[in-house]
Amino acid sequence: MDIALKVKGLVKEVIENNGYILDDVLYLKEEGNYFLRIIIDKKGIIDLEDCIKVTKLVDPILDGANYILDSYILDVCSKERDV
């Protein structure tokens, strides 16, 4: 199974139970580094505090599951919006 799909299944409930929408999960390599990008949304504007909160929620879940064997950077970010 794809890492992004596994992670999505792991973190979706905790993210949504805390008032956020899980928009997408991406696992990709950029400039030699692996990134696990968790894209969140909510009614209103996502700010840095929201990203920090979700990071603290999902980090222990990801560590416990230990699905990803590579070193990676966890990047919780907001959905890009058209301006």
What is the arrangement of strands in the sheet containing 21-30, beginning at the earlier edge strand?
Answer: 21-30, 33-41, 72-78
pTM: 0.90
Quickly state the pLDDT bin for 1 (edges 50, 70, 90).
low
Nearest to 12 by CA among 1, 23, 27, 3: 23
Please name the helix (run of DSSP H) or strand (run of DSSP E) that holds residue 82, with its range, or none: none
pLDDT higher than threshold 80 for residue 80: no
CA distance 26 to 38: 7
Helices (H), 1-83: 3-17, 48-65
Q: Mind listing the pLDDT tens digit for each residue in 33-72?
A: 999 999 999 999 999 999 999 999 999 999 999 889 999 9
